[in-house]
Amino acid sequence: MSPATGPAWDPQRYLAYADERGRPFLDLVGRVDAPDPRVVVDLGCGPGNLTSLLSDRWPGAVVTGVDSSADMITAASDRSRTGRLAFHRSDLRDWLSTANPGEVDVLVTNATLQWVPGHLELMPALVRAIAPGGWLAFQVPGNFDEPSHTLRAELADEPPYAEHTHGIADPRSHDAATYLRALQGLGCTVDAWETTYLHVLHGPDPVFTWVSGTGARPTLQALPADLRERFEDEFKRRLRVAYADEGRGVVLPFRRIFVVARTGS
């Protein structure tokens, strides 16, 4: 999910590696042992391809996908199912401020919280929205020290780009233990873990294609068109050095942090 005032998001670019992006979602939701929830919410639903899987898993539930990007919600709305699956546009913080306490049986937020500054402080509000005995499940990237991010940040700090990229959205996350302790302090039973996926990517400049749909997009959107092309060319060059293709695809290590918490009954 994008911040309410963030860059424009491209559903098609985001879906370029839909299978690889979807695997952590499946690993996350697979640990949610909710037999028959009535209300399921996906905060930061993006183009809705993964939200629809929640409707498939819990056919008796009303499933709602929420995202702050108009483009994402437009793409997701094609997947709506009358009475069962719907999408609407809202910023995550705004949604939390209006959610009825205890209304949601399963609250999922996948690769979203890293875009929300200070999101650890939102844990009480997230838990408050969940029914007694309900479930909170979220996943965030933990790869911000990898070249895919550090090279982008280093280049963005160089002239002539720095004057345009100062203060852009910068995704961040905590380690699994930090989330676990925060949610235990709120009375939840918590399962937290991390996994590093080794994605094998093919095609021209595949790591750039990956990050340009997510972590690098705010930087690219902040640049004027002429500088953006120069930036992209140099960024691709640096990524090719960091992620060499030896003829069998480029290996992109991607660490992700998972948390599944059950509220007290």
The pLDDT tens digits along the chain (265 residues) read 444 344 554 445 444 566 888 899 999 999 999 999 999 999 999 999 999 999 999 999 999 999 999 989 998 988 888 789 999 999 999 999 999 999 999 999 999 999 999 999 999 999 999 999 999 999 999 999 999 999 999 999 999 999 999 989 889 999 999 999 999 999 999 999 999 999 999 999 999 999 998 889 999 999 999 999 999 999 999 999 999 998 999 999 999 999 999 999 8
The verdict on residue 4 lying in a domain is no
Q: Is 3 within a domain?
A: no
* Domains contained in the chain, number: 1
Angle 160-116-77 (CA atoms, 0-180°, nearest 5)?
Answer: 100
Specify the pLDDT at position 9.
44
d(Cα 187, Cα 38) in Å, to the nearest integer? 22
Would you say residue 48 lies in a domain?
yes
Q: CB of 14 within 8 A of CB of 213?
A: yes
State the CATH number of the domain containing residue 44.
3.40.50.150
Q: Is residue 6 in some structural domain?
A: no
β-strands 189-201, 250-262: how paired? Answer: antiparallel
Give pLDDT, residue 163. Answer: 96
Residue 84 lies in a domain: yes
Both structure tokens of 38: 């009535």
Q: Is the pTM of this model over 0.75?
A: yes
Residue 11: per-residue pLDDT: 47
176 vs 199: CA distance, rounded Å: 21
Q: Tokens for 120?
A: 């650890």
66 inside domain: yes
SS (H, E, C) 169-213: CCCCCCCHHHHHHHHHCCCCEEEEEEEEEEEEECCCCHHHHHHHC
Roughly what angle, to the nearest 10 degrees, separates helices 225-242 and 147-156?
Answer: 140
The pLDDT of residue 241 is: 97
Q: Between vectors from CA 4 to CA 2 and to CA 10, what angle results, nearest 5°?
A: 40
pLDDT of residue 225: 95
CA atoms within 13 A on the CB side of 121: 4
Token pair listed for 202: 């093919």
Range of the domain at 120: 11-262
Report yes or no on 5 lying in a domain: no
Q: Where are the beta strands (DSSP E) in the chain?
A: 39-43, 62-67, 85-89, 104-110, 130-141, 189-201, 250-262
Does some domain include residue 98? yes
Backbone angles phi, psi at 230, to 5 degrees: -65, -45
- 140 CB-side CA count, 13 A: 20
